[in-house]
């Protein structure tokens, strides 16, 4: 089964198809309204740009190109129409305050036809996404600890809903005599079943385990980077009203960890902040500061001024992370395959030391934010080689993959920035990363950005 290999291209193609169709609808509406082929003048060109930006922005904010498997057909269409409404409102406001002389009849025609065409395009890609998942592409693995009845329920649900893209990867059968059969560390039993296939979701009935075993099971799953869903007893399900957040598959289940960024309104706020802040930095600082630093790096040591390293992002996906080169040219380091950076590392150049202490070496990562691979604030992305080493030594490390990595983060403002081979310090960093995931708020992001700016100015970032 193929999990992620082709999925990024699928998302890109969907976004491109939307923009191409918007352009075609514009031409059709123009011909329909004015009975002539459009000529792109100043006003028309600006309208095209605003139109494309508005739709792309809200499409990315609502994550329409992700075709979430935990949403039904109706919910996905609701998000589509919400995005449409918000994009058209922003477009209308821009045209109104921008004083563009575009006839009302054309705007009405364009809005009507683009709604129909993009709706049909959305339905087509939703069906294509479901078909690909049913064929085994972009699959998420489920591991279950529960009774035979619960296993049959989950198995039937995954087989009946293959288009959701869930695969029941493992099942640890419940034993009547828990004490005699589960006296050893339960993590070893789980690992023997799952092996190297990986776990994305761990569904667990907590009433079937003693407290010690329950803690071991949770530790095992979180070390794997899995989201944990605790099945609720039938009696408890009756006593309270359930909503979609309280279910997983056929079960009434509660997620173990709070994730504010799974809420749509929070995603909108964070995405808007990322885009606005990144564009502000690029317009005010990036365009003139980058060539100066690039020149200084080139004359101080051989090698490229900006390097792209393979790092781990959200859900464990690799991406190319950009930064100013701060070490003497090394092929392994530039590809993200070198060892952890240490204090007084001899590989660091003179100009590189300043860039690290001021955190300015991360400036090119605003490109990653605009691309959608990173956020302004989040857990710092680690290189591929570092990821494997750290994950093998620190518990619950992979939980930090639940959200996009950031240019700065809560751990960074606490002084845990840059490479280190000190695992106790790294463990504290991971603790702050998880705390950020569970306690995210817009004001927390603002506070982190303000503190990061102060640390950069005073050269007190704590980076090595």
Per-residue model confidence (pLDDT) at position 341: 62
244 and 285 co-located in one domain: no
Q: How far apart are CA 108 and CA 30, in angstroms?
A: 11
Let me know if residue 389 belongs to a domain.
Answer: yes
CA dihedral 430, 205, 138, 382 (to 10 degrees): 10
Residue 121, phi then psi, degrees to nearest 5: -65, -40
- The rounded distance, in Å, linking the Cα atoms of 358 and 289 is 14
Do 200 and 142 meet the contact criterion of CB atoms below 8 Å apart?
yes
Q: Among 108, 134, 160, which residue terminates a domain?
A: 134
In a domain, 219, yes or no: yes
For the record, the structure tokens of 11 come out as 């998302």
Is pLDDT at 239 greater than 50 in this prediction? Answer: no
Number of structural domains in the chain: 3
Reported as a pLDDT band with limits 50, 70 and 90, residue 293 is: very high
Q: What is the pLDDT of residue 177?
A: 44
pLDDT (tens digit per residue) in 423-459 = 888 899 999 999 999 999 999 999 999 999 999 998 8
How many CB atoms within 10 Å of residue 129? 24
The sign of the torsion formed by the CA atoms of 206, 211, 213, 216 equals positive
Residues 215 and 237 in one domain: yes
Q: Does 270 lie in the same domain as 208?
A: no
Residue with more model confidence, 21 or 61: 21
Residue with tokens 């606490």: 414
pLDDT surpasses 90 at 306: yes
Q: What is the pLDDT of residue 146?
A: 84
When comparing pLDDT for 86 and 394, which is higher? 394
pLDDT tens-digit readout, 96-152: 666 667 777 888 888 889 889 999 998 998 888 888 888 888 888 899 988 888 889
Quick check: is 393 in a domain?
yes
Question: In this predicted structure, which of 94-103, 192-201, 239-248, 325-334 has the lowest mean pLDDT?
Answer: 239-248
Q: Does any domain span residue 157?
A: yes
Which has more confidence, 206 or 181?
206
- Rounded percentage of the chain residues whose pLDDT exceeds 90: 28
Structural domain range at position 207 = 140-256
Residue 241 has pLDDT above 60, yes or no: no
Higher confidence at residue 118 or residue 198?
A: 118
How far, in Å, are 109, 222, 389 from residue 398 at the CA level?
49, 7, 12
CATH number of the domain that residue 212 is part of: 3.40.50
CA 115, 88, 445, 374 torsion: positive or negative?
positive
Tokens of 215: 């803690």
Q: Are residues 247 and 151 in the same domain?
A: yes
3-state SS, 148-170, equals HHHHHHHHHHHHHCHHHCEEEEE
Same domain, 29 and 81: yes
- C-alpha to C-alpha distance for 101 and 173, rounded to whole angstroms: 69
Domain shared by 123 and 92, yes or no: yes
**Does residue 463 lie in a domain region?**
no
Last residue of one domain, picked from the residues 117, 134, 151: 134
Mean of pLDDT values over 172-186: 54
- Whether the CB-CB separation of 403 and 375 falls below 8 Å is answered with yes
Domain co-membership, 186 together with 278: no
Provide the 8-state DSSP code for 232.
P
Give pLDDT, residue 100: 63
CA 211 vs. chain centroid, Å, equals 33
330-378 pLDDT, tens digit per residue, is: 665 555 555 556 666 677 888 888 898 888 999 999 999 988 899 999 9
What pLDDT, in 10s, does the model give residues 28-86? 888 888 887 766 555 566 777 777 888 887 787 777 777 777 677 777 788 888 888 88
Q: What is the mean pLDDT of the chain?
A: 82
Mean pLDDT of the 4-16 span: 73
Q: State pTM to two decimals.
A: 0.76
**Final residue before a domain boundary, out of 113, 134, 155:** 134
Same domain, 127 and 145: no
String of b and e for 10-42 (b: at least 16 CB within 10 Å)?
bbeebbeebeebbeebbebbbeebeeeebeeee
Same domain, 357 and 296: yes
pLDDT of 443 reads: 95
Burial of 295 from C-beta contacts in 10 A (0-12 / 13-18 / 19+): exposed
Q: Is residue 462 part of a domain?
A: no
Residue 359 within any structural domain of the chain? yes
Residue 407 has pLDDT above 60, yes or no: yes
Residue 163 lies in a domain: yes
Residues 106 and 220 in one domain: no
User: Do both 453 and 313 map to the same domain?
Assistant: yes
- In this structure, the answer to whether residues 366 and 429 fall within a common structural domain is yes
DSSP H helices in 1-72: 7-34, 42-61
Contact 17, 52 (CB under 8 A): no
Q: What is the pLDDT of residue 342?
A: 60
Q: Is the separation of the CB atoms in 464 and 356 below 8 Å?
A: yes
pLDDT at 277: 94
DSSP 339: P
- Please list, in sequence order, all residues whose beta carbon lies within 8 angstroms of the beta carbon of residue 407, skipping any fewer than 6 positions away: 362, 365, 366, 369, 374, 375, 376, 377
């Amino acid at each position: 089964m193929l999990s992620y290999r082709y999925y990024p291209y699928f998302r890109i193609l969907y976004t491109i198809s939307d923009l191409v169709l918007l352009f075609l609808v514009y031409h059709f509406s123009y011909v329909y309204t004015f009975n002539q082929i459009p000529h792109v003048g100043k006003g028309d060109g600006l309208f095209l740009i605003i139109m494309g930006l508005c739709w792309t922005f809200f499409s990315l904010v609502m994550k329409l190109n992700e075709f979430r498997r935990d949403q039904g057909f109706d919910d996905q269409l609701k998000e589509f129409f919400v995005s449409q409404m918000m994009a058209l409102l922003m477009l209308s406001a821009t045209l109104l305050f921008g004083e563009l002389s575009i006839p009302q009849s054309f705007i009405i025609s364009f809005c009507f036809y683009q709604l129909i065409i993009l709706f049909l395009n959305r339905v087509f890609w939703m069906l294509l996404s479901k078909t690909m998942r049913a064929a085994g592409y972009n699959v998420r693995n489920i591991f279950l600890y529960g009774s035979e009845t619960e296993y049959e329920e989950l198995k039937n649900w995954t087989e009946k809903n293959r288009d959701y893209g869930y695969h029941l990867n493992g099942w640890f059968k419940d034993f009547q005599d828990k004490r005699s059969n589960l006296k050893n560390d339960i993590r070893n039993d789980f690992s023997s079943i799952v092996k190297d296939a990986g776990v994305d979701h761990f569904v667990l009935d907590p009433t079937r385990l003693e407290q010690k075993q329950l803690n071991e099971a949770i530790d095992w799953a979180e070390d794997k980077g899995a989201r944990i869903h605790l099945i609720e007893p039938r009696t408890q399900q009756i006593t309270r009203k359930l909503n979609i957040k309280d279910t997983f598959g056929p079960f009434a289940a509660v997620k173990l960890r709070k994730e504010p960024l799974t809420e749509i309104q929070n995603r909108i706020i964070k995405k808007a902040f990322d885009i606005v802040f990144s564009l502000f930095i690029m317009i005010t600082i990036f365009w003139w500061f980058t060539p100066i630093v690039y020149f200084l790096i080139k004359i101080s040591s051989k090698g490229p001024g900006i390097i792209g390293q393979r790092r781990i992002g959200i859900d464990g996906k690799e991406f190319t992370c950009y930064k100013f080169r701060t070490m003497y040219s090394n092929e392994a380091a530039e590809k993200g395959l070198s060892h952890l950076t240490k204090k007084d590392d001899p590989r660091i150049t003179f100009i590189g030391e300043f860039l690290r202490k001021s955190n300015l070496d991360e400036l090119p990562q605003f490109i990653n934010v605009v691309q959608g691979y990173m956020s302004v604030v989040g857990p710092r992305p680690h290189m591929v080689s570092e990821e494997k080493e750290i994950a093998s030594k620190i518990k619950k490390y992979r939980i930090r993959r639940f959200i996009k990595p950031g240019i700065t983060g809560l751990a960074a403002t606490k002084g845990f920035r840059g490479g280190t081979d000190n695992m106790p310090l790294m463990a504290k960093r991971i603790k702050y990363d998880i705390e950020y995931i569970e306690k995210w708020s817009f004001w927390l992001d603002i506070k982190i950005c303000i503190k990061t700016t102060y640390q950069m100015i005073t050269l007190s970032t704590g980076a090595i």
